[in-house]
Amino acid sequence: MTNTNHKHPYDDYLRSTHRLGRIASIITLALLVGAPFVIGGYLGAKPDLGAAARGFLAVGLVWTVSSVAEFLVYTPMLGAGGSYLAFITGNLINMKIPCAMNAREMVKAKTGTAENEIISTLSIATSSLVTILVLAFGVLLLTPLRPVLQSPVLRPAFDQVVPALFGALAYRYFRKDIVLALIPLMVMTALFMFVPSLTSSTSLMIIPSGALAIGLSYLKFRKTAQEDKA
C-alpha cells in the first residue's frame, strides 16, 4: 500500500475518528451508568450508593489498574478507531486483541501505519458485530438453546475457551522467537508455582510478563542494530 500521496485524507480520517469515538464513548457511558437508574425507576427502586462505593473499593480498584494498563498497552496496537470500539465493546484480552492481531498478521500490516489503523478498526468492528449478533440470536433462542449449551457433555468445552485460545496463540507467537518466549514463560511458570494465589490475578501478571518480554526484545533489537552498523 502506498499512502504518501494521501496524507491529508488520512489526517482528516483520524481527526474525525477521534471526534466520533469520543462522542460515541460519552453517549455509551451515559447510557450504561444511567441504565441502572432508569431500571430503578421502572422497578420502583434505587441503587445503594454506599454499598456500590464499598464494592468499588473491594474489586473496582483492581479493575481500574487493569483498565489503565489495558489503555497503555493496547491502544498503540489497535490505533484510534480500533481502540474506541474495543473499549466500548469490551472483551479485549479474550477476543478483540487476538482478533485484531490475527487480522493484522494476515495482511502483514505494520504498527503505526494507516493500514494497521484501517485493518484494526475493520477487525474489531466485525468482531463486535459478530458478538452482538450471536448474543442477540442466542438470547432469542435462549430457552431452547439452554439445555444444549449447558448440557454436562458440552459444559467443559465452554469452560475452556480461554485456554484453547491461548494455546493456539502460544504456537503462533512462540515460534517467532522461541528464546524470547521461553524466558517470560519460565519466569511466569515459576511465579505461579511458588505463589499459586497469583492465578486469580493472571490478567494483572500480563504487565510484568509483557514488560519482561518487551525488555528482552529491545535488547535483541539493539544488538541486531549494532551488528548491522558494524
Cβ contacts of 90 within 8 Å, gap of 6 or more: 96
7 binding another protein? (CB under 8 A):
yes
Quote the Cα angle for 72-76-79, to 5°. Answer: 125
Helix H or strand E segment including 17 = helix 7-43
Smallest separation (angstroms) from another protein to the CB of 68: 7
Helix (H, G, I), strand (E, B) or coil at 9: helix
Asked if 68 touches another protein (CB under 8 A), the answer is yes
Indicate whether 223 belongs to the interface with another protein (CB under 8 A). Answer: no
- Residue 226 C-beta: closest distance to another protein, Å: 13
Task: Report in angstroms how near the CB of residue 102 gets to another protein at its nearest.
Answer: 6
229 belongs to the binding site for another protein (CB under 8 A):
no
Cβ distance to another protein smaller for residue 4 or 226? 4
Is residue 146 at the binding interface for another protein, with CB under 8 A as the rule? yes
Q: How far is the CB of 8 from another protein (least distance, A)?
A: 9
219 near another protein (CB under 8 A): no
- Interface residues for another protein in 39-58 (CB under 8 A)? 39-40, 42-49, 51-52, 54-56, 58
Nearest-approach distance from CB 230 to another protein, in angstroms: 16
Q: How far apart are the first and last CA of the chain?
A: 32
Quote the radius of gyration of the chain (alpha carbons, Å).
21
Segment 151-190, which members bind another protein (CB under 8 A)? 153-177, 180-181, 184-185, 187-189
**By C-alpha distance, which of 80, 71, 87, 78 is closest to 17?**
80
Q: Does 31 bind another protein (CB under 8 A)?
A: yes
Residues in contact with another protein, counted by CB under 8 A, come to a total of: 168
* Residue 192 backbone phi and psi in degrees, to 5: -70, -30
Sketch the per residue contact string, 70 through 89, with another protein: x for CB under 8 A, - otherwise. Answer: xxxx-xxx-xxx-xxx-xxx
Tell me how far apart the alpha carbons of residues 60 and 51 are, in angstroms, rounded to a whole number.
12
CB of 227 to another protein, least distance (A): 14
Q: Which amino acid is at 95?
A: M
Query: Which of 149, 223, 227, 229 lies at the binding interface for another protein (CB under 8 A)?
Result: 149
Q: Are 121 and 104 in contact (CB under 8 A)?
A: no
32 HSE (CA, 13 A, CB side): 9
C-alpha cell recorded at residue 142: 435462549
